[in-house]
A and B are shown apart, each in its own frame.
Chain A
Amino acid sequence: MNVGMLYSRIRKDEKLLLSELRDRDHDITKIDVRKQQFNIEDAPEAFDDLDIVLDRCLATSRSLYVTRFCEAYDVPVVNTPDTAEVCADKVKNSLALTREGIPTPNTDVAFTKDAAMQTIEEFGYPCVLKPVIGSWGRLMAKIDGKSAAEAILEHKATLGHYEHKVFYVQEFVEKPGRDIRVLATDGEPVAAMVRSSDHWLTNAAKGAETAEFELDDEARDLVERASDAVGGGLLGVDLMETGDSYTVHEVNHTVEFKALNDTTDIDVPGAVVDWLEAKVEAEQGKEVTA
């Protein structure tokens, strides 16, 4: 197959995928999105003869637009622009999970400092304020008291991009010092790990320690449903343990997996490429039938 890889930075994750694709003699077209112009009718030359495009854009804004162009050019893309749109925005992510009855932390959105302050007081302390767009645990605030809340809201309202004036306030979940990352292809878990830290943020990007995690039936079911809720694809589903159950706090659409691959004996890039091959085969089957 001929795989187009959208990128602006080749991380270890992309190197693992490129290596796996090359080992299987697939053709690869690396597409640096910074160097392309996307016409509303005609696809760039780089898109000629691609069987599938894999979106590995580091910048969410580019991911959202380029996947939409792929759709317009009728080139299959992983993940789809609809999935990207839901996953890229924490509000849409929370709404999609809730719509499907998937347990997720209670969340309010407010558009002014006063309304946000009111919702923070109603949640009580601590609670969490997150940017609606963003990753790697950046600009997340655990609010321990009223003074901190007032200061953070003031800073966001004064210094931030307009997106920071969409105040996403969430209940603080007392997790056991760790959360769970599951990499899944169309809802089927490939591998899972726990990310542990003394800090309240347990992102691998923040230096959390990782260990392989065995999913039980309930977690598997939640991963499948969370994947369906955002439109499926190659996803990173994040869960927190809540005593005897779980809550799904978000689903990521350009999932990083280098830490997971180092944690497990499972060949993560191999499983991803298996899934891509099956996807292309299914797409080509559809064309023949049509």
Chain B
Amino acid sequence: MAECVECGADVALHDDLEVGEIIDCTTCGAELEVTDTNPPVLQKAPELEEDWGE
């Protein structure tokens, strides 16, 4: 579990968490970036930029 930085709700985390991964807060819908895994730390994810893609 970690805390959503946007709404403060508990966010469930899966076992193979990876730094750089994005987790959705199921309470407020915020996109959260995993910045550490031990212990898990979440920050608000950057907004979509125009040059993102493949």
Q: Which A residues contact B (CB, under 8 angstroms)?
A: 7-11, 14-15, 18-19, 30, 32, 58-61, 133-136, 138-139, 161, 205, 236, 252-256
Contact = CB atoms under 8 A, between A and B. Distances in A.
B48 to A, nearest CB: 9
A236 B54 CA distance: 9
Interface of B: 16, 18-22, 33-34, 45-46, 49-54
A10 B53 contact: no
A133 B51 contact: yes
A264 B4 CA distance: 35
Contacts, number: 58
A19 B16 contact: yes
Contacts of A8: 20, 46
Contacts of B20: 7-10, 14, 30, 32
A59 B19 contact: no
A58 B19 contact: no
Counting chain A CB atoms within 10 Å of each CB, the highest count among B21, B45, B51, B54 belongs to B54
Decide if the interface of chain B is mainly helix, strand, loop or mixed. Answer: loop
Contact of A161 (B34, B45, B50, B54): B50
B50 A134 contact: yes
Contacts of B21: 9-10, 15
Nearest to B21: A10
B45 to A, nearest CB: 8
Contacts of B50: 133-134, 138-139, 161
Contacts of A7: 20
A36 to B, nearest CB: 13
Given A14-B20, A134-B51, A135-B54, 5 more contacts: A9-B21, A58-B53, A59-B49, A61-B51, A255-B54
Contacts of A252: 54
Contacts of A59: 49, 51-52
B34 to A, nearest CB: 8
Contacts of A60: 51-53
Contacts of A14: 18, 20
Contact of A30 (B19, B46, B54): B19
